Amino acid sequence: SQQGEEDPQALSIQEGENATMNCSYKTSINNLQWYRQNSGRGLVHLILIRSNEREKHSGRLRVTLDTSKKSSSLLITASRAADTASYFCATDPNTGGFKTIFGAGTRLFVKA
Amino acid sequence: ETGVTQSPTHLIKTRGQQVTLRCSSQSGHNTVSWYQQALGQGPQFIFQYYREEENGRGNFPPRFSGLQFPNYSSELNVNALELDDSALYLCASSWGTSGIQETQYFGPGTRLLVL
């Protein structure tokens, strides 16, 4: 089963609104990353947050990490139609050996 | 553009055949990972190579195998293809120096259809 679970599965908002996506995971991690994917193409890296960090910002993106709750959130502020995509969280479990685990993703649709 | 390239972009095979997919890593990266992504799903980790050695594997059968070459390019080989192998195959390169996965840069993927 997948380690990361995104919530909601789908989200539809108006341009200019904020979009919040959540990710939960099961085991302790070294870091957590968020990726974006447009229409079945390759994934684009957005932010990496390490297990000892609580919040990171990049432009209109804000990511939080709560290791006690094993959860993370991605906030996109002032959304644009171009933000329409699938968003995935990916965890690097702290279990030895390299193994990145992706969730099923949140499909975001931003209406112009 | 990430600098990671994959070939071919699309491929059609029949059940039982074998396929080889190729990936060129981003310059300076020594680690490559392969993922399988079924339609509407998140990517599933197949395996990772670090300096030409496999150092992590997901829940995929042995008919999925790989290679990493001295120039850090990579191949994914799948034998005895099954219908369920139809998917988008993604490779990702990164710089690894420790036991922690760093930022991965993905290629555009190879879409495989098995008939």
**pLDDT the model gives residue A105:** 93
User: A4 falls in which pLDDT band (50, 70, 90)?
Assistant: low
A43's tokens: 């994934």
Chain B closest CA to A11's CA: distance in Å?
A: 15
Record: contact B45-A99, CB cut-off 8 A: yes
**pLDDT the model gives residue A3:** 58
Question: Across the interface, which of B31, B41, B106 has its CB nearest the CB of A104?
Answer: B41
The candidate with the shortest Cα–Cα distance to A34, out of A91, A71, A89, is: A89
How does pLDDT run across A60-71, given as a tens digit for each residue?
999 999 999 999
Q: Is B58 an 8 Å CB contact of chain A? A: yes
Residue B113 has pLDDT above 70, yes or no: yes
The answer for A 27-86 residues in CB contact with B (under 8 A) is: 30-31, 33, 35, 40-45, 48
Average pLDDT over residues A7-36: 94
Which residues of chain B are within 8 Å of residue A2 when distances are taken between CB atoms? 42
Which residues of chain A are within 8 Å of residue B50 when distances are taken between CB atoms? 98
Question: Across the interface, which of A35, A42, A100 has its CB nearest the CB of B109?
Answer: A42
**pLDDT the model gives residue B95:** 85
DSSP string, chain B: --S-EEE-SEEEE-TT--EEEEEEPPTT--EEEEEEE-TTS--EEEEEEETTEEEEE-S--TTEEEEE-TTS-EEEEE-S--GGG-EEEEEEEE--SSSS----EE---EEEEE-
How does pLDDT run across B68-88, given as a tens digit for each residue?
998 889 999 999 999 999 999
Which residues of chain B are within 8 Å of residue A31 when distances are taken between CB atoms? 100-101
